[in-house]
Amino acid sequence: MNFKGRDIVSIRDFTKEEIIHILNVAEKMFPIAKGEEKSELLHGYIMASLFFEPSTRTRLSFEAAMKRLGGSVIGFAQPGTTSVMKGETLADTIRTAESYCDVIVMRHPMEGSARMAAEFASVPIINGGDGAGHHPTQCLLDLFTIRKEIGSIEGKKIALVGDLKYGRTVHSLAYALALFKAEMIFIAPEQLQMPKEVVDECMKLGVEPEIANDITNIEDIDVLYVTRIQKERFPDPEEYNKVAGSYRIDMNLLKNAKDELIVMHPLPRVDEISPEVDKTKHAAYFRQTFNGVPVRMALLALVLGVVK
Amino acid sequence: MKELKVQPIKDGTVIDHITPGNALKVLKILGIKEGANSVISIAMNVAGKRGRKDIVKIENRELDSKEVDKIALIAPDATINIIRDYEVVEKHRVSIPDEIVGIVRCPNPNCITNSREPIKSKFVVVSRKPLKIRCYYCGREPDMEKIESMIE
């Protein structure tokens, strides 16, 4: 399997075997990500981190990943300080940045921007989120987290909860989980339910997701994957409060959960998970956030051809 | 007396069975503009054996079939006839190419192809019957019922 020079634009560009390989490499990176082992694997390599949109976790974890492996980072966290403000196109910004680095990580508000960047750049492009489009490294770290926390993905019962309609990252996750033959339940209010194309895509992969409007029986669920319900999706703020309230994960809901159940969230969260859940062993979301580091280390090492 | 609405041509290309009302769009997709040297005749809403249709005749120019296939998006039943000395020497139905480049504007306003970047729109054909296309960049699948309004 050779990842050298490959772009990471969408999870759909990878086979199940390739995804497993990335997760296996990430597993080996884990102690380095923790700081328990030192590494100079990417010494002499430069990563450009081009963030045209705000980010906390993606940007910081990519930079941490590169530095933990002995590499260097250049870039910007907001386009306000660059020639983008003078009207420079993304295509020109990418062709400029690539002459200074070995790999580019980017986040951009427009969908398809990473795909376009990959066409212009000769160095690998890693998509750190393109608007409402893809966010493949989030998907990979989610898969890594499930595997690490509960041992496997196949056959596990995974509930995707919240706004399943607009967040395309949750669509990619559903696709990837179907690829791994997980059992899925899509729990969302009617107006935010998973689009039919995504359900159809899962069916094509041999997984028939269960559709539900309420979180009721959680006894046999292994993973509760919670997403943020955005206020702006509701014309009536009272309707939002009602809906958001009924999808809140709290101690009362978790009293029927099995011991091994984990709660995941891509973060940032607003009110979806009560802070009291943070102290329970169910709360996997901060470990999930950390897992961004070994997964991104694996991707950097793979696309730079330092790890096969 | 039977009236011939459009004269036969000696040499050139006849595009027949165009979905009624789409003849001008066909010319647009083919990039045939006002300044073209060829004589072009257009007949719209002509009664044919299979109902009404549009016809386009382009004199002294044989269109390349790959180029003409692009019109399958809006005229899936169209046929291309190459005429030499009043005889049809080649006849085939249009078929959708695997990729549609620079013809359809992505309906997603947030797609990178709708910005001022130096790229052309590009769609990948996902299925032919029914016709479904997906934006190569943003991944959206446009509503094919509105395809005519998305032609660039």
**Whether pLDDT at B4 is above 80:** no
Q: Which residues pair with B47 in a beta bridge?
A: B52
What is residue B31's predicted lDDT score, i.e. its pLDDT?
Answer: 80
Model ipTM?
A: 0.89
Reading phi first (left if > 0) and then psi (alpha if -120 to 50, else beta), residue A262 is in: beta
Q: Would you say A124 and A46 are in contact if contact means Cβ atoms under 8 Å apart?
A: no
**Contact between B72 and B86 (Cβ < 8 Å):** no
Q: Is A135 a catalytic residue?
A: yes
pLDDT over 60 at B3, yes or no: no
Please check whether residue A150 is in contact with residue A222, taking contact to mean a CB–CB distance below 8 angstroms. yes
User: Catalytic one among A6, A58, A108, A148?
Assistant: A58
Closest CA to A74 of A111, A99, A92, A109: A99
> Is the Cβ of B66 closer than 8 Å to some Cβ of chain A?
no
Q: How many CA atoms lie within 13 Å of B20's alpha carbon, on the beta-carbon side?
A: 9
The whole-number pLDDT of residue A10 equals 95
Contacts with A86 from chain B: Cβ below 8 Å = none
pTM for this structure? 0.89
The yes-or-no answer on residue A86 being catalytic is yes
Instruction: Report pLDDT digits (tens) over B76-101.
Output: 889 999 999 999 999 989 988 899 99
- The answer to whether B11 and B85 are in contact (CB under 8 A) is yes
C-alpha torsion B119→B120→B124→B129, nearest 10: 160
In the sheet that holds B51-59, the strands lie side by side as B40-48, B51-59, B12-18, B79-84, B87-93
The reported pLDDT for the residue numbered B35 is 67
pLDDT averaged over every residue in chain B: 88
A111 contacts B117? CB cut-off 8 A: no
State which amino acid sits at residue A85.
M
Q: Is B111 on the interface with A (CB under 8 A)?
A: yes
Query: Are residues B110 and A119, on separate chains, in Cβ contact within 8 Å?
Result: no
> Is the confidence at residue B6, as pLDDT, over 80?
no
Active-site choice (A6, A21, A59, A135): A135
| Phi, psi angles (nearest 5°) of residue B130 | -75, 155
Of residues B106 and A270, the one with the higher pLDDT is: B106
Task: Give me the CATH code for the A11-135+292-303 domain, please.
Answer: 3.40.50.1370
CA distances from A100 to A60, A63, A91, A104, A128 (A): 20, 16, 15, 10, 19
Q: Which residues in chain A touch residue B113, judged by CB atoms under 8 angstroms apart?
A: 112
pLDDT of residue B2: 55
pLDDT digits (tens, 9 = 90+) for A32-84: 999 999 999 999 999 999 999 988 999 999 999 999 999 999 999 988 878 88
B5 pLDDT band (50/70/90 cuts)? low
Contacts of A89 in chain B (CB under 8 A): 115-118
Task: Say if B120 is an interface residue toward chain A (CB within 8 Å).
Answer: no
Interface test with A, best of B101, B108, B110, B133 (most A CBs within 10 A): B110
What strands lie across the sheet with A210-212, from one edge to the other?
A210-212, A183-187, A157-161, A223-226, A262-264
- State the catalytic residue, choosing from A6, A21, A57, A68: A57
Q: Cβ A116–B117 below 8 Å, yes or no? A: yes
Q: How many CB atoms lie within 10 A of CB B46?
A: 16
Residue of A nearest to B111 (CA): A111
What are the pLDDT digits (tens) for A78-118? 888 788 888 899 999 999 999 999 999 999 999 999 999 99
Between A195-204, A227-236, B51-60, B125-134, the lowest mean confidence (pLDDT) is in A227-236
The shortest CB-CB distance from A90 to any of B110, B117, B141 is to B117
Which residue type occupies A81?
A: T
User: What's the rounded Cα separation, in Å, for the pair A192 and A277?
Assistant: 25
Q: Is A227 an annotated catalytic residue?
A: no
Task: Check B140 against A111: CB less than 8 A apart.
Answer: yes
Per-residue pLDDT at A302 exceeds 90: yes
Task: Provide the phi-psi class of B2: left if phi over 0, else alpha when psi is between -120 and 50, else beta.
Answer: beta
Across the interface, whether the CB atoms of A110 and B140 are under 8 A apart is answered no
CATH architecture of residue range(s) A136-289: 3-Layer(aba) Sandwich (3.40)
β-strands A103-108, A125-130: how paired?
A: parallel
- % of chain B beyond a pLDDT of 90: 50
Question: What is the structure's pLDDT at A184?
Answer: 97
Question: Are A11-135+292-303 and A136-289 the same fold in CATH?
Answer: yes
Lowest mean pLDDT among A109-123, A294-308, B34-48, B71-85: B34-48
Q: For residue A116, give the chain B residue with the closest CA.
A: B137
| pLDDT at position A103 | 98
Alpha-carbon distance of B112 to B119, in angstroms, equals: 9
B127-141 pLDDT, tens digit per residue, is 888 889 999 999 989
Pairing of strands B99-101, B79-84: unpaired
Query: Which one of the listed residues A6, A59, A107, A134 is annotated catalytic?
Result: A107
Quick check: is A93 catalytic? no
Average pLDDT, chain A: 94
What are A220-276's pLDDT values in tens digits? 999 999 999 888 778 888 888 888 888 899 999 999 999 999 999 999 888 899 999
pLDDT cut 70: percent of chain A above it: 100
- Name the residue facing B139 among A110, A113, A133 (closest C-beta): A133
**Bridge partners, residue A48, by sequence:** A74, A104
Nearest CA in chain A to B118: A91
Domain ranges, ordered by start, for chain A: 11-135+292-303, 136-289
For chain B, domains (ranges, CATH) are 12-93 (3.30.70.140), 99-150 (2.30.30.20)
State both tokens at A106: 């980017």
